Structure 1
Amino acid sequence: MLYLTLRQIEYVVAVARAGSLAQAAQNLHVSQPALSVALSVVEKRLGQKLFNRRKGSPITLTAFARTYITEAEALLIQAQRLEDPASLSRIVNGTLTLGCFEDLAPLYLAPVLKALRQGLPDVVLRWRIYDFENLARHMREGQIDLAITYDLGLDANFDKTRLKAVSPHAFMAAEAALARQPTLSFADLATEQLILFEEGLSVRHMLNLFRQGGHNPKVAHRVHSLEVMRSLAANGEGIGIAYTLPPGDFSYDGNRVVTRKISDQTAIEPVILARSNHLPELAAANSAHHIICRVFTEKNQAERLNP
């Protein structure tokens, strides 16, 4: 049961904004005694003082009131929306769970979450980071509404929107012979000791790209982390290959990493926004879809202007 009315809460907020009972009463078109009584009722119910009231001095907020007023203002805004059918029809609420492939998360997760929080203030956002197989499984089970990933391991049970296209890059030590070349091909890398990701779909995809050209690559290390790959490469343990290109020319251990684009057109891979197409569509997911696509469109335009 609710013991405080919206009108009483409105009076409290009005006094906090005005800084005096007289001014708040004038703004609300009510008598000052009625306003004073309402404040006393609220404070008694809360068991906390909201205002320091001294004769001849401005009203000041107590420490408790600062938090309370913030929540009260949010409640009144929501109440105003409920009185406006047009505004109510525009509200998208609920819960949205965003998934992201683990290598893409450091680049895209935070900017996308920021845009979603701004565009969907009434939606509760959650996020999960997984490898390919777990990402697909959680989407099928309805635990993830949308996912930013590569188009690997997703069948016709998923709707896919292309966000951008990326080429793989090779990571190597500064003294490596191939570091002198501006770009590389799979043929250039075919006889090198390679460092690849250990995740099943990822390593199979990369090995297939080599084999399509008739090459039989040699894998020296399989890793789970991109930074471990870059560190091994920087220390001469082989040449790492990944689609994700982090900024910076040094590994975590302080050694220089040389990065070269792999130019084979067959290796270009799309980054996609995916969702299961056998689950009910949610308004929050549809709105989030448009926002995420806009984020990537703006990012792609910026990259074209500043390559």
Structure 2
Amino acid sequence: MELLQLRYFVAAAREENVTRAAQKLHIAQPALSQSIARLEEEMGVRLFDRIGKRIRLNAAGRELLRTVEPILASLAAMPEKLQAIADEEAEIISLNVLAASHLITDLIISYRTTHPKTNFKMSRNVDSLDWDFRISSYPGGGEAKLSGRQGGRNKAEPQVGNDETKLLEEEIFLAVSIKLKYADRTEIELEEVSDEPFLTFPQNMPYHELCNRIWTETGISPRVGLESDNPQSLKELLSAGMGVAFWPQFSWGSPETEHVKLLHIARPKVSRAVTVTKNVKRRFTGSMEEFYQYMLEYFNAIAASEKRI
């Protein structure tokens, strides 16, 4: 039995006329008749009743038609399905990373071990619209009255209609050099370090807004020692004893070395939520949804660990 025979059989069954079926198939009528005869011989039963110039399916023919039609329909759709799979394997997932860049980098490395054909494009532009997922943050449920999302001209608020999900909530610590007198402590109040140089992100970065809100709520004007958009640079500056900095529990990895220590902020308690937003204006493919579910599980595992990374 050949696939072509089955296609010819379905055409004849629909037309109930061999001549018309042959015309639709663009083949000679004798060729179609011979194909049907061979199929009936292979099946061992007649499939049509002949009524003059017309043919009509008998019980055996109707059963074969019910079986064959969905198979042929599935095969006809297969090239498009296979092409979609190939496209998804080679596609690029765009990430707009405004928070937790350290974790997102580790996430991509982990994901690529099992999905080597998936590529990623990362940006850190708060004004960008070219993204599939946006990773952002806003003040969490700590004691500080940091109501609302991050303010400022370039605030990274999810657009109306986009699908936002909280990935985790993390405590904000104060990172200090062991050279400072506070290094033997486990917690500290911000008033105690108000005269220390403060290391922070530039003003156009969302984390800068969070830092400003913390200081505003405590009524302290910090002495900014240096601004950098790179957590690794802040870690090196902290190690050199050039100031203190707010440090999120998970997002940037641990700065703790023999030169740096993290202290709980006793008052006010501060946290932030890290979120992922789907861009609803994009067509989401199966591989995008698979990556999204992987991301949720990845961050759930981090949050469940309750440890600083």
Distance 1:82 1:185 in 2: 69
**Equivalent pair of 1:209/1:266 in contact (CA under 8 Å):** no
Task: Compute the displacement of 1:216 (Å).
Answer: 1.8
Structure 1: segments with no counterpart, 5+ residues? 1-80
2:127 equivalent among 109, 132, 137: 137
User: Aligned pair 1:165/2:169, yes or no?
Assistant: yes
Matches within 5 A, 1:104-119: 104-115=100-111, 118=114
Distance 1:305 1:155 in 2: 28
- CA distance 1:165–1:265, change in 2 (3 Å): farther
Distance 1:240 1:306 in 2: 16
Residue equivalent to 2:246 = 241
Task: Compute the displacement of 1:211 (Å).
Answer: 0.8
Task: Compute the displacement of 1:126 (Å).
Answer: 1.6
**Greater helix share, structure number:** 1
Distance 1:159 1:189 in 2: 39
**Equivalent pair of 2:176/2:238 in contact (CA under 8 Å):** yes
Task: Compute the displacement of 1:147 (Å).
Answer: 2.9
- CA distance 1:264–1:93, change in 2 (3 Å): farther
Percent identity reads 11
Matches within 5 A, 1:41-52: none
Kindly provide the amino acid, as one letter, of the partner of residue 300 in structure 1.
Answer: A
Matches within 5 A, 1:210-221: 210-221=215-226
**Equivalent pair of 1:193/1:238 in contact (CA under 8 Å):** yes
Matches within 5 A, 1:74-89: none
Distance 1:248 1:192 in 2: 18
Task: Compute the displacement of 1:84 (Å).
Answer: 10
2:137 equivalent among 137, 150, 159: 150
Kindly provide the amino acid, as one letter, of the partner of residue 137 in structure 1.
Answer: D
- CA distance 1:93–1:144, change in 2 (3 Å): same
**Equivalent pair of 2:133/2:276 in contact (CA under 8 Å):** yes
Structure 2: segments with no counterpart, 5+ residues? 1-73, 139-149
**Equivalent pair of 1:167/1:269 in contact (CA under 8 Å):** yes
Matches within 5 A, 1:287-306: 287-301=290-304, 303-304=305-306
Task: Specify the structure having the higher radius of gyration (Cα).
Answer: 2
**Equivalent pair of 2:177/2:241 in contact (CA under 8 Å):** yes
Matches within 5 A, 1:200-279: 200=204, 201-243=206-248, 244-247=251-254, 249-250=256-257, 256-264=259-267, 267-279=270-282
Matches within 5 A, 1:51-62: none
The runs of at least 4 consecutive aligned structure 1 residues that moved more than 4 Å come to 81-85, 88-93, 263-266
Distance 1:83 1:113 in 2: 38
- CA distance 1:150–1:109, change in 2 (3 Å): same
Distance 2:230 2:163 in 1: 28
Distance 2:158 2:252 in 1: 29
1:178 aligned counterpart, secondary structure:
coil
Distance 1:160 1:96 in 2: 21
